[in-house]
Amino acid sequence: MKRILLIITVLCIMATGCNQTGKKMNDAANPFLSEYTTPFQVPPFNDIKDEHYLPAFERGIAIHKEEIDKIINNPEEPDFENTIAALDRSGEQLRKVRYVFNCNTESNTNELLQEIAQKVAPLESSHYDDINLNPDLFKRVKTVYEKRDNLDLTTEEKTLLEKMYKDFVRGGAELDDTKQARLREINKRISVLSLQFGDNVLAENNAYKLFIENEADLAGLPEGVIAGAAEVSRAAGQEGKWLFTTHKPSMIPFLQYADKRELREKLHKAYCARGDNDNDHDNKKILVEMANLRLERAQLLGYETHAHYILEKRMAKKPENVYNLLNPIWEAALPVSKKEVQEMQSLISLEGNDFKLAAWDWWYYAEKLRKEKYDLDEEALRPYFELENVRNGLFQVCNNLFGISFEVRNDIPKYHEDAQVFEVKDADGSHLGVLYMDFHPRASKRGGAWMDKYRKQYMKDGENITPVITTVFNFSKPAGGKPALLSFEEVSTMFHEMGHALHGLFSDCTYESISGTDVPWDFVELPSSIMENWASEPEVLKLYGKHYETGETIPDELIQKIKKAGHFNQGFVNVEYLSAAFLDMNWHTLNKITSDIDVDQFETAALNRIGLIPEIVVRYRSTYFSHIFSGDYSAGYYSYKWSEVLDADAFEAFKETSLFDTKTAESFRDNILARGGTEDPMILYKRFRGREPSIDPLLKRSGLSRP
């Protein structure tokens, strides 16, 4: 018997040893679980495999729990350092994998990553609920918060303390056990639904294909658009045909130039029906459930609606202030859009047609009007907007303003072969951060353009941890033997996302949770929107506007046409956007849970109330409104317009001095770009501008008048 027990004991020890050895081996093989040895410690993308993510998440959660337990069980009296700062520092291992995973599921996803995301979302939701709803942890935070007036804290420390305390309260720390249990269920369910919504939109985008077999159906389309469609079709296994999709770089040129009205209608309707096809990728039930769950959560926490809950942390503060922003711009823009309809309807009649202008006609006849009124052909601009020239011109603008430089680094690993990577250096030559740029569409990338981070800037043990930033686009690909030639809208988009990147790169904060772009959503678009202003300035157009064949600088004649056409189609631009902002607010100012909402009827009623004209379709219909149902902009899509008010007013500061006034640029960097969320944004803005912003520069820039 003793011998048997001895054998069993030895076997158990051996098994334990094998398990521990296996665990160590797995850890050693998992790049997330060891120190990066890459330049600037960027993620080692060449070594990261899909199967590394889930174990890294699990280990990150386990380590974070240990860190939280250590804070809770600290025998010392709670103070800023051992509780608030310690909380900010905790979770570093978890953030390490989450930032990479989130970026890659957006820009380079696959079925396995989507499956992992479905597993990770409830895990993380549960984990953070465990933190936010931990009574012992909240007690320590509350103790520090209640004695804040007696503490010698910096402005950044005061902001972090207040944010952390309010996050606990808003996270349900003061709810009873029953309500906390329900809150956990809600948060977990929302996290899963949000992923499903985004996956469905991506699937719908990739599923629709308009193959054209008859060359006559390509009438009106520019040569470059035709060549690009032929290459995409060839890649899809359909040699000798032309393929158009609902991805905007494919769809918009088709709507602008294709003479075949019935094909424009077909493509436009397919775009507008995404997520609303009563198939496996239908989003109607998902978004209704999300809207109801968000409302239930808000009311659990004592708020009237989800919008009230969200806006408490924004510059707007409450829904009334959002409407106070949107309504006057809507009232100024809607009459302009109706005049634009009349102009296009007249053009239709002059052509001998008797049909009424429809939404799928807008881009086509707007383009004709642009040519007629301003002799400006968007396609005539593209040869001057070769992608690399635009990128280099943008880099030069950043250098002129802030003295920074961008150095190509071929020794830094990339997450996809299409990505470009640069080391960004400050004016004194010191390392500022790493920037990835990823320009073209692919099936693994969601639509649109965005900035994200693989690592944020913060201070650790007295050392500045520098940021690793990525900017992602869906620009027209090289086609027909030509390089990638951009539309002016795509040029503006590149400048826009660089503004976000600068916000992340220039961050000079101590605490990770309030550094970089971690600011209120109606403030985060200021750094990006203001950069768009430089894109259309004649001096800057000559920096990047070089003909891709001849090297000729864009002529003054074309620049003047661009400037004169600056107010063109602004009724449409504003009405299309604002209608989406109103729709967002309609979903999130619901104050009664209603599970049987008919999404199409709800949407139609919401848009009819504001008087949206039938010739314009809301920029994002509910079923593919990813900003609010799979992104962070719920009750916040208005933020772009709020930030436009700020950016138009802020750009006036440069116009009052000079376009590249270094003193003004330094003030913008120091007071806006470097400060992250360390202080109230209006205080930061007034410190830069000397006063609160005015709406008038935005109206002037858009060619609109106060109603």
Q: Which residues are part of the catalytic machinery?
A: 497
Tokens 């916040």 sit on residue: 636
Question: Strand pairing partners for 42?
Answer: none
The DSSP bridge partners found for residue 435 are: 422, 469
Half-sphere exposure of 498 (CA within 13 A, CB side): 27
Q: Is 506 helix (H, G, I), strand (E, B) or coil?
A: coil
- Provide the CB-side half-sphere exposure for 398 (13 A, CA): 28
Amino acid at 662: T
Q: State the amino acid at position 420 in one-letter form.
A: Q
Distances (CA, A) of 292 to 289, 295, 300, 313: 5, 5, 12, 21
Cα dihedral angle (389, 38, 433, 544), rounded to 10 degrees?
0
Within 13 A of 648's CA, how many CA atoms are on the CB side? 16
Give the residue from 271, 286, 114, 111 showing the smallest Cα distance to 207: 271
Residue 344 CB coordination number (10 Å): 20
Token code pair at residue 695: 């709406």
Instruction: Tell me how far apart the alpha carbons of residues 508 and 675 are, in angstroms, rounded to a whole number.
Output: 6
Pairwise CA distance, residues 300 & 292, whole Å: 12
Angle between helices 53-72 and 111-132 (to 10 degrees): 10
Rg of the chain over Cα atoms, rounded to whole angstroms, equals 27
Q: Are 201 and 630 in contact (CB under 8 A)?
A: yes
Strand partners, 458: 465
SS3 category, 241? coil
Question: CA-CA distance, 478 to 224, in Å (whole number)?
Answer: 9
Read out DSSP for 294-327?
HHHHHHHTT-SSHHHHHHTTSSS-SHHHHHHHHH
For residue 363, give the 3-state DSSP assignment: helix
Provide the CB-side half-sphere exposure for 582 (13 A, CA): 26
Q: How far apart are CA 616 and CA 275, in angstroms?
A: 19
Rounded to an integer, what distance in angstroms lies between the CA atom of residue 397 and that of residue 698?
A: 22
Q: Which two tokens stand for residue 534?
A: 């430089």
